[in-house]
A = this chain, B = another copy of it.
Amino acid sequence: MTRSFLMIGQSNMAGRGYLKDVKRIYDEQIRMLVNGRWQTMTEPINYDRPTAGVGLAASFAGAWRLKNEPEQIGLIPCADGGTSLDDWGVGGALFDNAVVQAKLAQRTSELDGILWHQGENDSVAGRSDAYYDKLCIIVDALRLELNTPEIPFIAGGLGDFLSSGRYGNYFTEYNEVNRALQTYAQTKPNAYFVTSNGLTANADGLHFDALSQRKFGIRYFDAFHGRKSVLSPLPDELDLIVTIQDRALTKNEKSTLLEISFARGELALHELEEQLAKLEQ
């Protein structure tokens, strides 16, 4: 049965890396929930805004597949840009939507983990003080609603670039939020912290760039797989990214990608037919 993971938080969980900056990850055994059903994953996975792009979930799933071939993984995208912990409050629209999407996924999968990245919007105006307590309430309620009391909860740190970027004045307490996330991982069962050390941003100084998101996903998977916090960059993260991105496509995957290009108007009909014919040779 498909093993599924809920993606929640704000823009850096949704993903704002530029698609052009990294190679595509495409694998029919990596699925994403769309309208309550599984589709083959393509990026952007979490289309919350017109700026959605590469997030950490694709390389997380790719790393999962390296350890779990030939099983299937499913991603449940529910992150939403610019949202605070109050926005994620129990019974609010974001929380309820995430619960419903995860429950739809649970009809045909086993929910195996919660991937969290959030906190930029709680890094200002004294909000970081209440971060730990608010997070406890949300995660407890989510585990209860989903009937997964011991499900791993994996939270990544906020980027060190935040305070120096264009929007730096909004993130004066990002270190306090990072400490709250680490304390959460240290004090709560089945919770893990993943460092963002060494990761870099787009020109906005706000969003992890695409390669950094790929690395972050590898670290998130290491935390999930080892049931441990990941407190420094992994020596093999670049190698793993190459392995995942350069995986040989099956004939069916190649033909589906051609059909997608045709449907998007990137290939003429005769080009599609020529290239499909080549695949048959």
Contacts and interface: CB of A to CB of B under 8 A. Distances in A.
Interface of A: 16, 18, 20, 34-37, 39, 42, 47-51, 53, 78-80, 93-94, 96-98, 100, 104, 107, 166, 202-204, 207, 260, 262-265, 268-269
Contact of A264 (B42, B48, B50, B96): B50
Contacts of A166: 269
A9 to B, nearest CB: 11
26 contacts: A16-B263, A20-B265, A34-B49, A35-B79, A35-B80, A35-B94, A36-B93, A36-B94, A36-B96, A36-B97, A37-B93, A37-B94, A39-B49, A42-B50, A50-B260, A51-B260, A53-B264, A93-B104, A100-B100, A166-B269, A202-B265, A203-B262, A203-B265, A203-B268, A204-B263, A207-B263
Contacts of A50: 42, 260, 264
Contacts of A18: 264-265
A111 B55 CA distance: 33
Contact of A35 (B53, B93, B204, B260): B93
B97 A35 contact: yes
Contacts of A263: 16, 51, 202, 204, 207
A259 to B, nearest CB: 9
A13 to B, nearest CB: 12
A115 B155 CA distance: 39
Nearest to A43: B50
A83 B51 CA distance: 28
A78 B78 CA distance: 15
Contacts of A39: 48-49
A97 B104 contact: yes
Given A18-B264, A51-B264, A100-B100, 4 more contacts: A35-B80, A39-B48, A202-B263, A202-B265
